[in-house]
Amino acid sequence: MKKKNQITVDKVKAIFRQHGGVLRTGEALGYGIHPKTLYAMRDRGMLETLSRGLYRLKDIPLVGSDDLIAVAHRIPRARICLISALSFHGITTQIPHKVYCAIPRDVHQPRIDYPPVYFFRFSKSSYNDGVESHTMNGKKIHIYNVEKTLADCFKYRNQIGMDTVLEALHLYRERKPLKVDALIAHARICRVYNVLVPYLEAVL
């Protein structure tokens, strides 16, 4: 017999679906879901533990966005950048093996066990520049726009490889509206204007 006020499994699933299929333990508690219910659903294969205190409803496919959503939950101040942002915008053939995230220089680097994350410390001006908000499976993530991402790639070309940077620039020219003024503005903020412009002129 169901105890008074106990939320059914179907109701729990409905709550998860209303929130993109992913919830933190604290969020679940706020909706009246008992931890024992979460553990039971996990043990029965209904929920997947993405990281400590973060659960995903298994019957909702995340279409490759699960890692980004997990990071958005675990590290609210993170900004998706570099190869992860290139992949999101469709201007790379690289498949990120980690989620590339920007955090402010003066912030302690978060500890996260899932997914694997590669942190980059950005200056205040660079961290705040060119951020977009996108909703993926009902969850909001913060990611740099295309032009800011390209400027960041030139700044961190030694870490991600110049071949990756040049491929992204060519794919940007082929697939996206060319916004030269925006690209140059971001390059100035990232202090890579002198590096970026000759390559930009070559593809115009």
pLDDT digits (tens, 9 = 90+) for 89-103: 999 887 777 889 999
Q: Is residue 29 part of a domain?
A: yes
How high is the pLDDT of residue 96?
75
Q: Is residue 2 part of a domain?
A: no
Q: What is the CATH number of the domain that holds 70?
A: 3.30.460
Confidence of residue 1 (pLDDT cuts 50, 70, 90): very low
Q: Are residues 32 and 113 in the same domain?
A: no
How high is the pLDDT of residue 20?
61
pLDDT over 90, % of the chain: 58
Q: Are residues 36 and 83 in the same domain?
A: no
Provide mean pLDDT across the span 9-25. 83
CA-nearest of 173, 157, 176 to 165 is: 157
Q: Are residues 155 and 196 in the same domain?
A: yes
What is the domain range of residue 51? 9-57
- pLDDT, tens digit, 9 for 90 and up, residues 33-85: 999 999 999 999 999 887 678 787 887 644 357 788 888 888 889 999 999 99
Instruction: Check whether 161 has a pLDDT greater than 90.
Output: no
Q: How far apart are CA 67 and CA 93, in angstroms?
A: 18
Q: Are residues 80 and 173 in the same domain?
A: yes
Q: Are residues 96 and 139 in the same domain?
A: yes
Confidence of residue 5 (pLDDT cuts 50, 70, 90): low
Provide mean pLDDT across the span 121-131. 97
Q: Are residues 26 and 84 in the same domain?
A: no
Q: Are residues 94 and 132 in the same domain?
A: yes
Q: Is residue 175 part of a domain?
A: yes
Q: Are residues 122 and 160 in the same domain?
A: yes
Q: Are residues 114 and 29 in the same domain?
A: no
Scanning the chain, the segments in alpha helix (DSSP H) are: 9-18, 25-30, 35-43, 66-74, 82-89, 124-128, 146-155, 157-160, 162-175, 180-189, 193-203
pTM to 2 decimal places: 0.70
Domains in the chain, number? 2
Q: Are residues 37 and 81 in the same domain?
A: no
Q: Are residues 26 and 99 in the same domain?
A: no
